[in-house]
Amino acid sequence: MSGFLQQFSANFAQLDAHNLDRLAELYADNIHFTDPLHEICGLTQLHDYFAELYAGLTSLDFEFFAFDEVREGEGYLRWIMSFRHPRLNQGQLISLEGCTMLRWNTAGKVVRHRDYFDAGALLYQHVPVVGSMIRWLHRRIA
């Protein structure tokens, strides 16, 4: 198990709206961050994205359960994110499983962060009108 991945995940899980200055401890200035909904280049833009993200949440928790360093300076994390947002799922807890690919430099800072998860399970299924249509469609397909 990668010591870097364990340390990164422990530090990442401690982030919240009040300590986003710690992003500079984890990420290089030229960070390239991608998830199914966003693509961000640069530490300042990443900070702004996280600030906006955390501002709307009433709770957020990450459970990291798999760490796989595939080669020096590159690895994967598997996680479950649980969160509450007042405008999604009537403010009830939403949990989502995902995977993160990380590449880090010799200084121990992440230069590439790519998240993989089901955007529908994260967001669309929990929006009142759209969510009911997606759930109906899932039932019809199954």
Q: Where are the domains of the chain?
A: 3-141
Predicted pLDDT at 112:
98
- For the segment 74-114, what is each residue's pLDDT rounded down to a tens digit? 999 999 999 887 877 677 888 889 999 999 999 999 999 99
3-state SS class at 100 = strand
Indicate the SS3 state at residue 13. Answer: helix
Q: How many CB atoms lie within 10 A of CB 49?
A: 16
Closest CA to 111 of 21, 40, 13, 17: 40
What tens digit of pLDDT does each residue of 31-60 get?
999 999 899 999 999 999 999 988 888 889
CA angle 31/94/18 to nearest 5° reads 50
CB of 83 closer than 8 Å to CB of 93:
yes
What pLDDT score does 80 carry?
95
Q: Which CATH number fits domain 3-141: 3.10.450.50, 3.90.226.10, 3.40.50.300, 3.20.20.450?
A: 3.10.450.50
